[in-house]
Every structure is written in C-alpha cells, then in structure tokens.
Amino acid sequence: MAFPKIDGYVVTEKLGSGSYSTVYKAYTKVGARSIVAIKCVDKSRVKNSGSAVDNLITEIRLLKTLTHTHIVHMKNFTWDDKNIYIIMEYCCGGDLSKYIHKYGRVPEKQVLYFLQQLASALKFLREKGVVHMDLKPHNLLLHKGSDGKYVLKVADFGFAQHMTGDSVRSVRGSPLYMAPEMLTGEYDERVDLWSVGVIMYECLFGRAPYSSNTFKELVDKIQRQAPIEIPSKASISPGCRELLLRLLQHDPNNRITYEEFFSNEYLDLQHMPSKENYEKAVTLIKRAIELDSSGQLEEAFTLYRDSLLYLVPCVGCETDSLRRAALAAKLSRYMERAEELKVYLKTGSFPQQNTAAVLISTAGNNCTSNTAQSRPTCSSCVTEPCKCSAQVNGTVEVPDNIVQQTAASSQPTNINTTPKSNRFGFKRLFGRQASIPYLDTKDSSITADPTQEKQKIPQAENNDGCRIT
C-alpha cells in the first residue's frame, strides 16, 4: 500500500478512513521523532461537496482555537496539489467504541472516570459557545500512556458549530446518538447532552439504547420516542441511574441542563482527578501546614479537610506504583493530622493513639473520583467505606466515632487561648506537626501534560504504549 508523501513526516500506518479522508499514523523526521496522526483529505472528493468543504473549514478553524486536556490537539495543517493534511496528536489507545467492543460492558467506576473527562471537555466547549453535534464513541479517542492510564480526548469537530439564534438547523451527526429533536430541525445545544447519555448507556450495558437491526427500525424508535429502559439485572448505583435517566429525556425541556450536569453530585466534576485539582490540593496542603505551624488550628483543619476532596481522587488514579505509595503515605499523614486537630478542637484533649491509619487501596490502574466503590478503608471504619477521605454530602468528614467524649467541647485556635489544663496536650499536638510532609506538584504523574509527552520510537522493547509498528 502506497502512503502519501508528507513533507517533514514519515507515514507508517493507516488508522482509518471516511467518506472524504483517511487518517494515518506518522512520525516527524527531525528531532525526537514524535508520533502524530495525520488526517489526509482528498481535494478531488470534497471540491464538489459544499458541506464537506464547510465541515473541513469548521474543523480546522475550531481546532486552532480549542486547547484543552480532553480535546484532541491540532499541531498543524498543510496541503499540496492533491490533499489537505491536518496534523494532530496521536492517541494510541484507539477510540471508546473499540474499548467498549473489547470489554463488552465497562465497569461503572471506569465509566465515571471517562464521563468526568468528557464533561470537562464539554464545559470548556460550553464556555466557548461551541456545540459538537456528533458525540459518539468513535469520536472519543483514548490516549494510553506507558503507565496504562487512559486519557479521553474529544475529536472530529466537522459537524461542530457556534450555536446562535441564526445558526442553520440541519440534520447532522450519527442517528444512533442523535437527539430526537434533531429530526424536527428545532434543536439547540442540548443535543450534546442526549448524546452523552447514549454514550454512557452504551458503556454501561454494551449497546446503545436504540440499537436496531435496520435504519428504518432505528428511525421508528426515535420518532415514536420508544421508552428507554435500564436492564433489569443492571448493577449500577442510584446516582448513576438518576444521571443517566435525566440525560436521556426525549423532551429537551425535561432533560438535565448543562448547569445541573456540571454540578451533579454523582459526576462530582469539581473534584475530578486532574492537573488543576491536584495543584489545588498542593496549595491547600502548603497553607494548612503553615497555619498549623503558627497555631491557627481551626483554619488548618479546614484546609486539610478541603484538600482531601481534591487529593483522594488523584491518589486513586495514580498508576505509577512508587508515586502512588509515596502519595498514599502523605495522604495518610494528612488524614491523621486532620483527625488529631478535629479531636483536639472538639474536646481540648490530644487523641491517645493514632486513629486514622489509612490503608489506600492500590488495586487496579483505572480509577474514578471519590465514589463509594473507590473509597479507601481505615481502622476506624472497618466494615463500611471509610469517611475519613470520602465525600459525604459535599464535605470530607473525619469519623466522629473515634472522638473522645470525655471532655466538654472546646475550640482553642492558638496557644494564647489554650486552657492551662490543656497546655500539655497542645504541646504534644504541636510537637507532632513537624513530621507532616509537604506535597509537591512533582509527586504525581497527573501534572504531566499528555500532549507534551515525547513519544519516541522504542528500540527493542514491546509495550502497550505508543509505538511505531
């Protein structure tokens, strides 16, 4: 098979093709030989199709301006006499459709992990006033690093547009994932939310809700708004079920709004594992230790507690075993310190023993945020999910069952207001503070930008990461 000759690149493999274009895998001739994906658009095929040209122009224009961790990055575009080339980052994990086909049904924990990343991209698009219009598993690419961690990327913006009151309302997208109102021509940006629901359903149950044997059967189900049912044997959490059904409302006026979606408690987008949220945890921990050192214990406790909301999901997603162990040790110490401060602020007495020896589970390379299924366990909570670090009604709680109730509640905030009877306890409490380690941005691999990773050609090793074949 003859590959196209593209200046500055060596094409090695065909990845896929569509009506007007073919996507190839290639690497740069100069420098680190970074791996890229090149979308090759045949000019002869698009020149007589006005819509194809419009879609191509739209895609290039949007990709030039949309820079986000969970949106495929366009590095450059060029052309010659025969083709137009869009050079993009290469996502070596395939697409979500292949992932679903491989595993059949995706565990809810992993679905939530992907859903958070998709929601993060949609929130960014929403801020830019962009509607994708063609969300489906085929257009959600997965970058798989050498550590096994997947990062979801939204791709293919050919049907996307800035939605305004004057926008052209034409039928676009893939029927299986298309919102029902698109068939009437009366639709708005809420169509993407329906598509998210269909994708979520397919991940959980292995098929789209309106899977059909024929196109006619599919259209019939859409037009008569056939009821969407959750499989009777489905084992999903109440929060997952509620969000799914709210997304898959035929009437867009009854569908969950973008604001409700982004703030959904089950989705917990605010605390999803991300570079930004990990950096928030680093900042909060640093400030908490500073306040702790100066004797401002109540404020320090609040910051320790708030930092755990961001840190726990990030630790759970760490796939590097050494980093995960080190982060788990620091996380355990922060939880322990928060417990020490809570007990002291409540009772005025220093806890007699370490009651927050947290055992962070390191099983599995894939993660979710702080859901009940992924909560760590500790010696205080024994048979139920640990509440030392898990989110409970929007807050991180240190268990009350370990608090000594032998003294009246007291809340000293600095050494000058501490009762004499409690001075000895305070000294013990303050003396242990020096062992609290600082958190650093370099402690987690989540701070690395996947789009900036240099994907070099491996010399003689076989791995599951990106490679030239």
Give me the active site residues, please: 134
Please state the separation of Cα 237 from the chain's center in Å.
19
Phi and psi at 334, nearest 5°, equal -65, -40
Instruction: Report which DSSP code applies to 404.
Output: -
Helix axis angle for 423-432 and 321-347, nearest 10°, is: 170
Rg (CA), the chain: 26
Please state the separation of Cα 124 from the chain's center in Å.
13
Between vectors from CA 62 to CA 56 and to CA 66, what angle results, nearest 5°?
145
Q: Is the Cβ–Cβ distance between 314 and 278 less than 8 Å?
A: yes
Secondary element (H or E) of residue 455: none
Can you tell me which residue has the tokens 């094409």?
A: 11
Helix axis angle for 108-128 and 191-205, nearest 10°, is: 170
The bridge status of strand 83-89 relative to strand 130-131 is unpaired
Token pair belonging to 372: 């009940």
Token pair belonging to 248: 């898959």
DSSP assignment string, 325-349: HHHHHHHHHHHHHHHHHHHHHHHSS
Give, in order, the Cα–Cα distances in Å from 298 to each of 72, 230, 394, 411.
Answer: 44, 46, 19, 8
Strands (E), 90-136: 130-131
- Torsion angle defined by CA atoms of residues 139, 144, 149 and 152, in that order, rounded to the nearest 10 degrees: -20
Can you tell me which residue has the tokens 């869009």?
A: 86
Helix axis angle for 238-247 and 108-128, nearest 10°, is: 40
Contacts of 247 (CB under 8 A, 6+ apart): 193, 194, 196, 197, 200, 255, 256, 261
CA distance 445 to 404: 39
- Torsion angle defined by CA atoms of residues 381, 385, 391 and 395, in that order, rounded to the nearest 10 degrees: -20
Q: How long a stretch of residues is the chain?
A: 469
